[in-house]
Amino acid sequence: MSWFRREDNKIEDTGAKTVRTEGLWIKCESCEAVIFRPDLEANLMVCPKCGYHFRVGARARVDMLLDPSYELVDMDLKSTDPLNFVDLKPYKARLRKARRRQRA
């Protein structure tokens, strides 16, 4: 099947096939080498030429470090203040404020 169909000596784009190359290649900020994204991801976001470490989000970093079958546990843990720590504000007040902000 061709990408173009000729009718009445006109070339008409069928739009059936498109090629997207945006984001497939990444330029290293250190050595300026152009790297194929799947190769970079297989190398854990480290440039194979110079060893530059690209930025990785927290969730992606956790996924790299843990087994694929990991599960999150103890998600309902809450911080406490067993030492009764006081700075400019008591730590318990800071905890209450953070919990209120998290709910909103």
Residue 39 lies in a domain: yes
* DSSP H or E segment with residue 15: none
Domain count, the chain: 1
Helix/strand/coil for 73: coil
Give me the amino acid identity at 71. E
Residue 32 lies in a domain: yes
Residue 4 lies in a domain: no
Summarised one tens digit per residue, pLDDT across range 31-52 is 999 999 999 999 999 999 999 9
Q: Residue 37's domain spans which residues?
A: 20-55
Residue 31 lies in a domain: yes
Residue 104 lies in a domain: no
Per-residue tokens: 85: 């720590």
Q: What pLDDT does residue 2 have?
A: 62
Which segment of 28-32, 47-51, 79-83 scores lowest on mean pLDDT?
Answer: 79-83
| Alpha carbons 103 and 70: distance in angstroms, whole number | 26
Residue 87 lies in a domain: no
Q: Average pLDDT of the chain?
A: 86
pTM of this prediction? 0.52
Residue 78 lies in a domain: no
